[in-house]
Structure 1
């Protein structure tokens, strides 16, 4: 049962990140083909991220109120809506206000699902049937790698209609994997005869702490979350504007897909073996190390004069993204009570989303005004500032929490 639950949740992660790859990682490619400018693309991506920030607490509140209904039901409802929205992309030949609204809505709802997909792991995991988040998230990276590589080649050969086609197929896979996870988890609880566990009530109890109280108890963590926003600015720039960065050094959409795939493959060891790594290294140390790796990656990308050199820069993905993502998730679990952990996870996700807002707005205009090199330089400076904040504040989080308690 434990193995089956991990497999089904891995499929949830895999299908979600494949859809992310199809819609967000290829957003610039799709919108450029419809005659949007870089500035217009930046505004679209920024507005979609703002929409996600607004939607995330709304969806979380809806989940909190679904006392007798599974968390996965809401996720499936959103996924069904995304199927219709993705299919509508076929209808647009050139840019229009309607296409702009549709794409913003699609991207916003897709991004708003990310913290819910993460929460599913903790929602359905039990002591007897735990879900290995690192292993499952690593499957998400494998799936993302395969998707971006294949889709890059398909777009290069057949055009951008390959993007919505891939998205629709993936969403059906997401729905099936969500239903399977819920079914297996229900059987696990029944077979274990854990009568004192009410997962919905557990989730509801995690929402009771007020935001003001959360900030009072976690001031240093809030400061750390701002560092996350600064560091992930460069990550958002690379996710949104890699095609423009590659074209600046002679690359194309096929190479873009290969580079996204390359990055995703590099994430696998850190995600898959994170449990073992965590036994040797603290979350605080790994957050420092991964922050430095992020800074080196973006700065070397700024220095790159060829696609080959960008591959060298992206080698830092091996220790940047997987260690930072997993460490931040587990840091929340380490330093926070159950009644505030959801807000902690949501804060980190919101800051990552806000980084996309700023990266999208600033990135599009900088690309049009002064080119890819200027955007990479700005990203490098912000990553370094964020890294400095992490070094100053991260070790203080546990200490300050202990004093409050």
Structure 2
């Protein structure tokens, strides 16, 4: 078997286990907090802490990786520690104890995905027949299957079963990373502070990051409080498994066609298409009268999130230097975290005063604002291209 084929297979299994682990944890956090007696405001604060911890730790891991370590080593450290720390959730009680446990876990777990993405892109740069979309779709597949399975396990046993399975699948992912025969090249060209300063001065990067923060406000609200929407429309915890299964499995076709779509439409056009459907999706959620309709509407995930993901990653890799790939991926993840932080805490506070249906209308409007910003970003790109052409 060709080396590139073996690398592709191992990367796919890495994403299966990595996202299966996430499916054992994130979809049931709100349910876990409810089981501990948290109010909506406390849930909002807890989910905000979830986001802000990543905002702080992800760039740190990115800089450490680019400057001192290699991507493979960083992924192994974060995955192994995550698989051990998760057991704190089995034993802790009380709002502040749970918050501290979550912070400790996310110091490692929140960086697993961006570091894996950076590592995958580096491997792909040296193995052109491997496509990121086809690798990443296996993560969605793993997430879908795990979410459906874990929901049933939680319903008939306890929430602790999800934490145990998180540990197992994260360890399996670490074993896959350990077996990958590819040496990171990042240590040959070290990043420095001037590189970060130059990146921040690039209008394309700064405007793009603003759009990422804004759209992730809506993602944070949706991810944290769609549980409430399901409950308000007649569903229970077992329906959460179906919901997250539909969300994840619907991503597969678009991720599979990722390269073709990018070549045909371009990164920013794809991003704008995804945002248009986000506006529609969240507005339809706000009109739902049954959990069945909510779940059906989530099938629009097939267009929304995959287009956001592949277009964002491709755009970032196009405008940033190779020596900063890990840092840029973690900066992107941190921008997502900032938006999620605002959405989580703001959504929790708003839910104390407005209905879940009005909340989803608000996030539809937020996506509309982001769409306008991306249109501005597209104009900036056109101006830069015209300037380069004139200089030539």
TM (norm. structure 2) is 0.91
Q: Which residue of 1 aligns with 2:363?
A: 379
Q: 1:15: how far off?
A: 1.7
- In the alignment, the residues of structure 2 paired with residue 395 and residue 138 of structure 1 have an alpha-carbon distance, to the nearest angstrom, of 31
Distance in 2, matches of 1:267 and 1:83, equals 26
The aligned residue for residue 200 of structure 2 is 215
Secondary structure of 1:378's partner?
helix
Q: 1:139 to 1:104 in 2, by over 3 A?
A: same
- Measured against aligned partners, the alpha-carbon deviations of 1:80-115 in whole angstroms (never above 9, x if no partner) come to 2222211122213x4242222102322353222221
Q: Which residue of 1 aligns with 2:342?
A: 358
Check whether the contact 1:274–1:326 (CA below 8 A) recurs between aligned residues: yes
Q: 1:201 aligns with which of 167, 187, 193?
A: 187
- Show CA shifts across 1:3-25 (max 9, x none): 11011111222222122222222
Write the distance in 2 (CA, Å) between the matches of 1:282 and 1:338: 21
Please, which of 13, 16, 23 is the counterpart of residue 14 of structure 1?
16
Report the counterpart of residue 219 of structure 2 in structure 1.
235
Q: Distance in 1 between matches of 2:157 and 2:353?
A: 31
Choose 368-377 or 45-54, whichever is displaced more.
368-377
Secondary structure of residue in 1 paired with 2:233? coil
1:146 Cα deviation from its structure 2 partner: 0.6
For 1:134-283, list aligned pairs within 5 A.
134-181=133-180, 184-186=181-183, 199-202=185-188, 204-207=189-192, 209-216=194-201, 218-283=202-267
**Deviation at 1:360?**
1.1
Q: 1:66 to 1:401 in 2, by over 3 A?
A: farther
* 1:152-194 deviation line (CA, Å, top 9, x unaligned): 111122121122121111111111111122xx225xxxxxxxx
Is contact 1:18-1:140 (8 Å) kept?
yes
Q: By how many angstroms is 1:54 displaced?
A: 1.1
Partners of 1:231 and 1:382 within 8 A in 2: yes
Contact 1:20 1:110 in 2 (8 A): no
Aligned pairs (5 A) from 1:36-47: 36-47=38-49
Count residues with an aligned counterpart.
387
Deviation at 1:64, TM superposition (A): 2.5
Residues 221-230 or 206-215, more deviating: 206-215
1:334 deviates by 2.7
What is the deviation of 1:208? 5.9
Q: Flag the 1:128–1:143 CA change in 2: closer, same or farther, 3 A.
A: closer
Does 126-135 or 139-148 show the bigger shift?
126-135
Query: CA 1:169–1:346 in structure 2 vs 1: closer, same or farther (change >3 Å)?
Result: closer
Q: How far apart in 2 are the matches of 1:261 and 1:161?
A: 20
Structure 1 residue 40: Cα displacement: 1.1
1:80 paired residue number: 80
Give unmatched runs, 5+ long, in structure 1.
Answer: 187-197
Structure 1 residues 318 and 36 mapped into 2: Cα distance closer, same or farther (>3 Å)?
same
TM-score normalised by structure 1 residue count: 0.89
Distance 1:129 1:44, change over 3 A: same
Q: Could you list the runs of 5+ residues in structure 2 that have no partner in the other structure?
A: none
Give yes or no for the alignment of 1:298 onto 2:282.
Answer: yes
Give 1:336 deviation, angstroms. Answer: 3.6
Q: Can you list the C-alpha shifts for 1:294-350, whole angstroms capped at 9, x where unaligned? A: 111111111111112213322321111101100111112233443555554344322
Q: 1:123 to 1:66 in 2, by over 3 A?
A: farther
Query: Partners of 1:296 and 1:152 in 2: how far apart?
Result: 28
Task: Look up the SS of the partner of 2:138 in the other structure.
Answer: helix
Contact 2:124 2:132 in 1 (8 A): no
In 1, are the aligned partners of 2:118 and 2:325 still within 8 Å (CA)?
A: no
| 1:186-242 CA-partner distances (Å, limit 9, x unpaired) | 5xxxxxxxxxxx71334x4455643332122x2133112212222222222222222
Cα distance, 1:78–1:400 mapped onto 2, change above 3 Å: same
